[in-house]
Amino acid sequence: MDIQSKVKQSDGIWLVSGNLINLPANDNFSLHDSKQKISFTDLKIKKSDATKNGIPVGVSVENTFSTDLTNIKLLLQNSFGVIQKPSSGDVLQVKSDNQKGRLTGK
């Protein structure tokens, strides 16, 4: 994650804006451009119970958050170009499952 700005709220929640970077491919999909960033604005982050080197790890308040992208170019099985669009709304969503994120769309 590349953090561009962060603002602490009175309730201890942080509003973080930045980019998801260095995104890994999986067996089916990879980014069309390996340097593609997924930008987001005002993602709500809270402290988790986990720590790394004695520092609390931040996690998203919600299981899903909005990106700033209306679509993203992907490669299907390293051969076919596809454009992923939102399954609902105007921007792509990232959903958290078992401490891993995935884009939701169609």
pLDDT of residue 88: 84
Query: Consecutive 10-residue runs of the chain (106 residues): their mean pLDDT?
Result: 95 95 88 92 93 90 91 89 88 80 76
pLDDT of residue 94: 87
Q: Which long-range contacts (CB under 8 A, 24 or more apart) does 88-95 make?
A: 91/66, 91/67, 92/38, 92/66, 92/67, 93/64, 93/65, 93/66, 93/67, 94/20, 94/38, 94/40, 94/64, 94/65, 94/67, 95/63, 95/64
Put simply, whether the predicted model's pTM sits higher than 0.85 gets the answer no
pLDDT of residue 89: 84
- 3-state DSSP call for residue 83? strand
CA distance 54 to 90: 39
pLDDT of residue 99: 66
